[in-house]
Structure 1
């Protein structure tokens, strides 16, 4: 009798565990709350405040609770996506490439369109009173970048400098300041003779009078970079993924779109970002190891 009771209890425990695993899988594929991460390229509190209209729109459209998340840096956002701590993420182009190399199941589904184009550029700037007047003058001086996983504040300008015969740690000293606005402020203040950031963010900083353009000179613009992609977890159920795609692609509210600094969102695919993988090759970067 004891043996039969033991076998029955074991079967019951196994069935409960299996049922629990099924429930967890179902919750993961169709969670009650969607965690949406936005890039930490400016102050986190400001980003979250500005994202409240997006949160309200998504909750109404998707009929789910939505939490807006801003991670401490690009790397922590990649890790959050990798380990399923967020369901939807607005990556920078290169940080998406890095995330995809670590979590192949994530899917880009939308890209920002600004002035009719799904791309943007990096701007290289110098302090107007400093020693750097041209790209060639960068040799022998520090150069300010943003986050190492940033496209327009690191990868694209670094590739441009390499094409002009300037190699980091050999011809100039790379200095990483984390955020785009930090680069612009450091160069304007003369704390760094030159640096690079998103041209779009630079224009916003000028328009909002957060930097004085008279203290800066433009050195160059990078080649076009594919815009920031919206991505989602591949393990979400197909119906939910389609609802998320539709919610973003059909987004028309200018106030919400301004959060992404775009006029609209268009469909995107992974191959759109092969140009970033090519830039990494120019710099001999192994994205899987970054």
Structure 2
């Protein structure tokens, strides 16, 4: 009997070994990605120092996997093709609803994030109410700060219904910096984007302030978060989060990473932080 059980045990080990080996191998590489909310060159500049920091802290190879759009980031996380993704609040909620993804960490600024509404200076727009009847651009359709909350605030603050009160249907630029360029060129007369990208473009002299101006800044809302796929081990998720929490602005090397991420520090994220986004997503019809 014992010999039979031993043979069965050996058979089980031999049968399951490829699975164990594959799991061990997968843990040797952490694949990260993020929503493409800016142009690819800017994203590469922001992610490279972060990847290097993660590799040092985690002791494994970290690979940045670019995706083509917001939906692709959610799908890749749900399919297990990436382990962690830098998502906006709304794409995080989509990933949670679709595949049980979980929040890990967020920047200090993401608990009270804001969007700005901008207008072409030749459009005769001085306040949000003046956008009625004008052409308008959001960012990506799944963007929290480039679409969801701007659409929400247009309706609740100014009684502007985006799909009927502009000059034609609103356009979708696909990225925050692209929205600025659409307004700057006059392709649309107004648009909305996240305040961080706007501030960075101003600081880098990447926008002609003679052609574009801010007409309104939104109330604060919760936004970006590092999100983990559902089936990662608790220890892997914990180590990943600790790598961000360990970033210290007093250290030059860490400060360089934080500056590129637009943060002074990272803080733990909780599932309840994103309940309001889910509510707004359902109320606007953007989340089914």
How is 1:62-141 mapped onto 2 (pairs within 5 angstroms)? 62-104=58-100, 106-114=101-109, 118-141=111-134
Paired residue secondary structure (2:32):
strand
* Residue number in structure 2 paired with 1:279: 280
Q: TM-score, normalised by structure 2?
A: 0.87
How is 1:204-243 mapped onto 2 (pairs within 5 angstroms)? 204-243=200-239
Deviation at 1:146, TM superposition (A): 0.6
Residue deviations 1:194-249, cap 9 Å, x none? 00000111011011010022322322222212131111123222222221111111
Question: Which residue of the other structure, out of 162, 168, 171, is the alignment partner of 1:168?
Answer: 162
* Residue number in structure 2 paired with 1:267: 268
Question: Which residue of the other structure, out of 29, 35, 49, is the alignment partner of 1:33?
Answer: 29
Residue deviations 1:69-112, cap 9 Å, x none? 221111100100010011111111111111111111x2111110
Question: Which residue of the other structure, out of 243, 246, 249, is the alignment partner of 2:245?
Answer: 249
* Structure 1 unaligned spans of 5+: 1-10
Paired residue secondary structure (2:191):
strand
In structure 2, distance between residues paired with 1:282 and 1:232: 26
Do the aligned partners of 2:184 and 2:211 also contact (CA within 8 Å) in 1? yes
Do the aligned partners of 1:48 and 1:69 also contact (CA within 8 Å) in 2? no
Deviation at 1:284, TM superposition (A): 3.1
In structure 1, distance between residues paired with 2:12 and 2:54: 39
- Closer, same or farther: CA 267–191 of 1 in aligned 2, 3 Å: same
Deviation at 1:26, TM superposition (A): 5.0
In structure 2, distance between residues paired with 1:183 and 1:109: 29
Do the aligned partners of 1:162 and 1:283 also contact (CA within 8 Å) in 2? no
In structure 2, distance between residues paired with 1:262 and 1:66: 21
- Closer, same or farther: CA 258–39 of 1 in aligned 2, 3 Å: farther
In structure 2, distance between residues paired with 1:33 and 1:178: 30
Do the aligned partners of 1:126 and 1:218 also contact (CA within 8 Å) in 2? yes
Paired residue secondary structure (2:280):
helix
Paired residue secondary structure (2:68):
coil
In structure 1, distance between residues paired with 2:71 and 2:106: 21
* Structure 2 unaligned spans of 5+: 1-8, 249-253
- Closer, same or farther: CA 144–244 of 1 in aligned 2, 3 Å: same
* Residue number in structure 2 paired with 1:5: none
Deviation at 1:25, TM superposition (A): 4.5
